[in-house]
Amino acid sequence: MSDTVAPEKIEFQAEVKQILNLVINSLYSNKEICIREVVSNASDAIDKARIESLTNIEVLGDDHNFKIKIDLDKDKNQIIISDNGIGMSKEEVVSNIGTIARSGTQNFLKELSGDQKKDTTLIGQFGVGFYSTFMIADKVEIKTKRLGSDEPATKWESQGDGSYTLEETDKESRGTDIILHLKEEDKDFCDDWKIRSIIKKYSSFMPHPIVMDKETEVDKKKVVEEEVLNDKPPIWLRQKTDIKKEEYQDFFKHLSMETEDALAYAHNHVEGTLEYKSLFYIPSKAPYDLYHPEKTNGLSLYVKRIFIMNDCKELLPNYLRFVKGVVDSEDLPLNISREILQQNNILTKIQKASTKKILNMLKSMATKKPDDYKKFWKEFGNVIKEGFHMNWENLDELKQLVRFQSSTGSSEDDIRSLADYVKDMKKDQKEIYYITGENRQAVDNSPHLEVFKSKEIEVLYMVDPIDEWILQGMGDFDGKQLKSVTKGDLDLGELSKEEKAAQKEGKSKFKKLSKFISDSFPNMLKEVRVTTRLKDSPCCLVADEADMGANMERILKMTNQAVQKSKRILEINPEHPILQNMQARYDKDAKDPKLQEWTGLLIDQALLAEGSEIENPVEFIKKINGLLQEVSAK
Ligand code: ADP
């Protein structure tokens, strides 16, 4: 048949061409990974065959021993990797190998940095794995036959240029053979020892046997036997005491396709009403797709050592999606489907316990290895913060884990826990103070902090957009309320006795001017009052306790949401010469037109200082220039 019908020639999809081009022309730093990719595809294909056979064991015929076999043909410079997995129909070959259906391809291509090492890791993470064979092969053949199908086997062939050919072939058994025709300069991949060491390095954790022929002598006769290269049981089934640190880290690298060690791991054999093994890892680097909407967690689900699925989202809440690892349950049924998973009681219990376990792991990292925790927080802090909206049960744990920058630190790397804050509170301090804003620099220079800085009261800096949301779910910490320094009336209690006295005095002194200002800007101001907040600045704007606040308004505006601007409170500094002069001027002539102009300038200044936009920048500049002209003429 195959010699009567001419092979069909088909063009690759544009994205595939792009990826092939990249693989062939710019990735050559770590060629070995292509063997790992092909072996891992073979292993996936076996998992799929096993899952199909659960409902109909007949499809396996008499071949029940799943395995992946590697043959080396030194004369022809070929590596043949075969599996007896699910195989592919002709149509599946076209759609699986000829195109990349995944929506994330464009994203992936954008992520590529040009840095060899990073890009090779990305290729593995993204799973354009098969194409990596063209790093070492100038021609690749696939012979494949779909399990349970009468359709003849298909042969696919390509030289990695723009197209591939398809034709029928006479393979009888199910599964897939991948034949790599090695490039001249990569002939050394045909070496027995080299392939064995690659398998050891990358694939020793594969759940299915990977075999190679080995010649031995029995009774002086040469016999060929299949040798299993990965004969250890899966790491999570072994006793903790028998496992070396390096083995745990190697398994992490295998799972995550990362090159760096995990920051922490936890291995557990849980027994009791539920029985399962779990192995969790906290990576040291965030994956490139951490914030892609389709990203789920990195836990694989096994049932009685049999692989069920990767990225099982029922195993952990979404805010722990950075965790990698394995859960192997003794209690779930083997033929569990995605639909059943969603409302499965056992999984819910495993999820609860696993969440606790991971939060504890992080807590212990924070106390025992603070430098590691800093690294962790930098990579994953914002994801943990998402938990404040999803995980009420563990709110207390999350409050222990959360970190913020603060007025006591000198850079973004100085982070503080709420417990640190409470421990260092002033004797008479009752609340935990925070300020929200666009970035460290913006809040650091805010007039709202003046009195806090002068009294050395710490203020937490909440400068990630998500902080506004977590505040809503935060409640108190250790009986102390969190209080915004830009909202409501400031009452530092015992800490501000002197200011209180000055405020009282100022209140009567500035009564008329205050009324004048609030009457002049009725649409913008709901109140003008004398403040205890300020030391150097003439005035600042604050929000009412229940109002949204300027930062939240800014964030909502950024996300194109309609925002109803709330009226603000202008607080004036009774000690400031500008205000004192204005008051004197008012007392002399309440109708002085300069007063209105200057008040407008003061409000605009206050808006700029808090990071808000001013309504009319041109007008603002005109007024400033007018003032400069007057002053410079003197
Ligand atoms: P990924 O494995 O991440 O999907 P690949 O490019 O490595 O990406 O493989 C593309 C697809 O080709 C796989 O998803 C699978 O459907 C199919 N495939 C690859 N190798 C095999 C194989 N040995 N048996 C069956 N299908 C395979």
Give the CATH number for residue 204: 3.30.565.10
Q: CATH number of the domain that 426 lies in? A: 3.40.50.11260
Residue 469 pLDDT grade (very low, low, confident, very high; cuts 50, 70, 90): confident
Strands 298-303 and 324-329: parallel
Residue partners of 589: CB distance under 8 A and separation at least 6: none
Which domain covers residue 461, as residue numbers?
402-484
**Same domain (yes/no): 471, 570:** no
Residue partners of 114: CB distance under 8 A and separation at least 6: 26
Strands 276-282 and 264-270: antiparallel
Cβ 45 under 6 angstroms from ligand 1: yes
- Going from the Cα of 499 to the center of ligand 1, the distance in angstroms, rounded, reads 71
- Nearest ligand 1 atom to the CA of 102 is 4
**Same domain (yes/no): 445, 314:** no
Distance CA 546, CA 292 (A): 34
Cβ 41 under 6 angstroms from ligand 1: yes
Cβ 341 under 6 angstroms from ligand 1: no
**Same domain (yes/no): 42, 135:** yes
Q: Which amino acid is at 433?
A: Y
Closest CA to 243 of 268, 220, 216: 268
Q: Mutate which of 15, 33, 44 to test ligand 1's pocket (most atoms within 8 Å of Cβ)?
A: 44
**Same domain (yes/no): 217, 88:** yes
Among protein residues, the one with the nearest Cα to ligand 1's atom 17 is 96
Among protein residues, the one with the nearest Cα to ligand 1's atom 14 is 96
**Same domain (yes/no): 530, 605:** yes
The answer, yes or no, to whether residue 127 has pLDDT greater than 60, is: no
**Is residue 389 situated within a structural domain?**
no
The answer, yes or no, to whether residue 508 has pLDDT greater than 60, is: yes
**Same domain (yes/no): 174, 290:** no
Q: Residue written as tokens 């001419």?
A: 6
Q: Which of 121-130, 411-420, 434-443, 508-517 has the lowest mean pLDDT?
A: 121-130
**Same domain (yes/no): 474, 502:** no
Name beta bridge partners: 327.
278, 301
Among protein residues, the one with the nearest Cα to ligand 1's atom 3 is 127
Residue 111 pLDDT grade (very low, low, confident, very high; cuts 50, 70, 90): confident
Helix residue ranges per DSSP H, 8-88: 14-26, 33-55
The answer, yes or no, to whether residue 558 has pLDDT greater than 80, is: no
- Going from the Cα of 308 to the center of ligand 1, the distance in angstroms, rounded, reads 17
Q: Which amino acid is at 370?
A: P
Residue partners of 46: CB distance under 8 A and separation at least 6: 66, 67, 68, 83, 84, 85, 86, 208
pLDDT, position 3:
53
**Same domain (yes/no): 158, 76:** yes
- Going from the Cα of 137 to the center of ligand 1, the distance in angstroms, rounded, reads 17
260-to-285, 309, 382, 538 alpha-carbon distances in Å: 8, 25, 21, 52
**Same domain (yes/no): 22, 163:** yes
Residue 2 pLDDT grade (very low, low, confident, very high; cuts 50, 70, 90): very low
- Going from the Cα of 246 to the center of ligand 1, the distance in angstroms, rounded, reads 29
Q: Which of 69-73, 155-159, 339-343, 570-574 has the lowest mean pLDDT?
A: 339-343
Helix residue ranges per DSSP H, 86-191: 90-97, 105-111, 116-126
**Same domain (yes/no): 306, 368:** yes
**Is residue 397 situated within a structural domain?**
no
**Same domain (yes/no): 312, 438:** no
Q: How many domains does the chain have?
A: 4
Instruction: Give the domain-ending residue among 362, 378, 394.
Output: 378
- Nearest ligand 1 atom to the CA of 86 is 25
pTM metric for this prediction: 0.76
**Widest CA span of the chain, in angstroms?**
121
Residue 46 pLDDT grade (very low, low, confident, very high; cuts 50, 70, 90): very high
**Same domain (yes/no): 479, 622:** no
